[in-house]
Structure 1
Amino acid sequence: MIQVTPSIAIDESEIEESFVRASGPGGQHVNKVSSAVQLKFDARHSKSLPDDVAVRLMKLAGSRLTLDGVIVIVAQAQRSQKRNREEALERLLEMIRTAAIRPEKRRPTKPTKASKERRLEAKVRRSSIKSARSKPGMD
């Protein structure tokens, strides 16, 4: 079990890793070794995640989410497979931690009486400035 937050832990069997050849740093070695990691996590069918967290996680995943509800994270920045695995897992855990934070509900507020008066006074002042710019009328 991988502890994500104090209340959420994910079973390792829910995370699927596959290794592919990476582009980027590595020189000739990059053509011989599959050091890039493709991490897959089925957020829609995960038994470890509460439903509300899973929904927020799928929204947060964006383009990394497949139509089946699987999150795919590719890590290939590092030269070693081990470091790419750690980076991909950490990115997934950070995404889950972010999704675990319940958003605060917005409470609508009304402007105070004093702020309404200040706004109207400013409008009157601005109006008098603008009217003073116009050409004098014919009286």
Structure 2
Amino acid sequence: MIQITSGICLAYSEIDLQAIRAQGSGGQNVNKVSSAIHLRFDIHGSSLPAQFKERLLDCRDSRLTTEGVMVIKAQQFRTQEQNREDAIERLKEWIISNTKVQKKRRATRVSRAAKARRKEAKQANSQRKKLRKKISFD
């Protein structure tokens, strides 16, 4: 089980992990070893609550297909195990960040004292700049 939050878990059967060969330049094993991981997570077929599914499907992410499948490619590390852990961790972070409910913003006003302080600071700055001028003896 993959623990997402304190009350939400995902079964490993809901995630499709596939080992593939990593891209880019490599050493002796580049054409032989499949160390990169392709993680596919079907949001529609998952055991997540309906409200979580809606939020995840509504997010704008290039890794999310039109069928509602999240595709994560992990190839940062040299070993398959580390890439597998990295892909699962990135999936958890993506789910958590896209299902957080943000607090509503309450409109506030700038206080009268803050406005006065700002005005005084502007006047002091203006006076400082006036003192930099050349003195004319007319």
Determine if the TM-score, normalized by the shorter chain, exceeds 0.5: yes
**Root mean square deviation, CA, Å:** 3.2
Preserved contact between residue 58 and residue 65 of structure 1 (Cα < 8 Å)? no
Give how far 1:13 is off.
2.0
Residue matched to 2:102: 103
- Residues 16 and 119 of structure 1: CA distance in aligned 2, closer, same or farther (over 3 Å): same
Residue matched to 1:68: 67
Relative to its length, the structure with more helix (as a share) is 1
**Under a length normalisation based on structure 1, what TM-score does the superposition of the two structures give?**
0.72
Q: Deviations over 1:43-67 (max 9, x none)?
A: 35533244146515752x6221112
Q: Percent identity?
A: 46
Q: Point out the more displaced range, 69-78 or 39-48.
A: 39-48
- Write out aligned runs for 1:1-139 (5 A): 1-24=1-24, 27-52=27-52, 54-55=54-55, 59=59, 62-119=61-118
**Under a length normalisation based on structure 2, what TM-score does the superposition of the two structures give?**
0.73
**1:83 alignment partner AA:** Q
Question: How many residues in Structure 1 have an aligned counterpart in Structure 2?
Answer: 137
- Residues 33 and 24 of structure 1: CA distance in aligned 2, closer, same or farther (over 3 Å): same
Which structure 2 segments of 5+ residues have no match? 134-138
Give how far 1:4 is off.
1.2
Which structure 1 segments of 5+ residues have no match? 134-139
Q: Distance in 2 between matches of 1:44 and 1:106?
A: 31
Q: Distance in 2 between matches of 1:77 and 1:122?
A: 51
Give how far 1:89 is off.
0.7
- Residues 124 and 23 of structure 1: CA distance in aligned 2, closer, same or farther (over 3 Å): closer
Q: Distance in 1 between matches of 2:105 and 2:118?
A: 24
- Residues 123 and 85 of structure 1: CA distance in aligned 2, closer, same or farther (over 3 Å): closer
**2:113 alignment partner AA:** A
Q: Deviations over 1:107-128 (max 9, x none)?
A: 1101223334445566777889
Preserved contact between residue 21 and residue 36 of structure 1 (Cα < 8 Å)? yes
- Residues 58 and 82 of structure 1: CA distance in aligned 2, closer, same or farther (over 3 Å): farther
Q: Distance in 2 between matches of 1:96 and 1:13?
A: 17
